[in-house]
Chain A
């Protein structure tokens, strides 16, 4: 059991649409990060939230946005979907004082 749950597991959207991906972190994990993983590549950092505030962002456009809630859940929102947004989206959480991240199994997004 990973302790981090993501939903949905798979999703198909049409170009131009908007999507919301959800993540439920382990209790006490006040840091959550989102990653995008294209096929055959390593995960790429999108952004991180700490205590409900954005705390770092990778090289992704503003149409990628997020929220973190007090109950350790979080969301990744992507507007105006493009075909290249098709990927595995991973959520990872940690407690600030520890070194290891716990990842979810991801949401496979396909944009057609």
Chain B
């Protein structure tokens, strides 16, 4: 399973943008980059995924480096409800359906 590296923790202020980095230098050409987040006392929640191009949805944006060895999850205006552990996961197209979670990045949002 391809591996990702994320900072253990990050801190942000409410209503400011947050950029959560993820390194995946061993990514293969068919790996999709997925992001999930886990709020306290809840199961993980799907946030966004992409392959090569940048992606936007109602929750966040995903910026993928041109060489695909890193990506950044962008929360445009952090709220207190965005405080969670964010996981960056590589998922092979047509491969195993399982998700391989690391320890993720714990995001703290200050009021």
Residues 50-82 of A contacting B (Cβ, < 8 Å): 50, 55-56, 58
Q: Tell me the nearest residue of chain B to A91, going by C-beta.
A: B43
Which of under 10, 10 to 19, 20 to 34, or 35 or more describes the interface residues of B? Answer: 20 to 34
* Residues in chain B within 8 A of chain A (CB atoms): 32, 34, 36, 41-46, 49, 85, 87, 91, 96-104
Complex alpha-carbon distance, A35 and B45, angstroms: 14
Q: What residues of B have a CB within 8 angstroms of the CB of A44 in the complex? A: 101
Q: What per-residue 1/0 map shows which CB atoms of A29-59 lie under 8 Å from chain B?
A: 0010101000011111100101000011010
Q: In angstroms, how far is the closest chain A Cβ from the Cβ of B24? A: 15
A99-B32, A99-B91, A100-B49 known; A43 vs B44 contact (CB < 8 Å): yes
Given known contacts A55-B97, A56-B98, A92 and B103 CB-to-CB distance under 8 angstroms: no
Q: Which residues of A contact B (CB under 8 A)?
A: 2, 4, 31, 33, 35, 40-45, 48, 50, 55-56, 58, 90-92, 94, 99-106
Measured in the bound complex, the distance between the Cα atoms of B66 and A52 in whole Å is 40
- Chain B residues whose CB sits within 8 angstroms of the CB of A45 once the complex forms: 98-100
Q: By the criterion CB–CB under 8 Å, are B34 and A99 in contact?
A: yes
Provide the residues of chain B in CB contact with A100, threshold 8 Å: 34, 46, 49
Query: Could you count the A-B residue pairs with CB atoms below 8 Å apart for me: how many are there?
Result: 61
Given contacts A41-B103, A42-B102, contact A105 B97 (CB under 8 A): no
Check if A105 sits within 8 Å of B101, measured CB to CB. no
Q: Tell me the bound Cα distance from A100 to B50 in angstroms.
A: 11
- With A43-B44, A90-B44, A92-B43 given, is the CB distance from A48 to B98 under 8 Å? yes
Smallest beta-carbon distance A6→chain B, Å = 8
Q: State in angstroms the CA–CA spacing of A58 and B99 once bound together.
A: 11
Most chain B Cβ neighbours within 10 Å, of A33, A55, A90, A103: A103
Q: Please tell me if the beta carbons of B41 and A48 are within 8 angstroms of each other in the complex.
A: no
Q: In the complex, what distance in Å separates the CA atom of A42 from the CA atom of B101? A: 5
Q: Assess the B98–A33 pair: CB atoms within 8 A.
A: yes
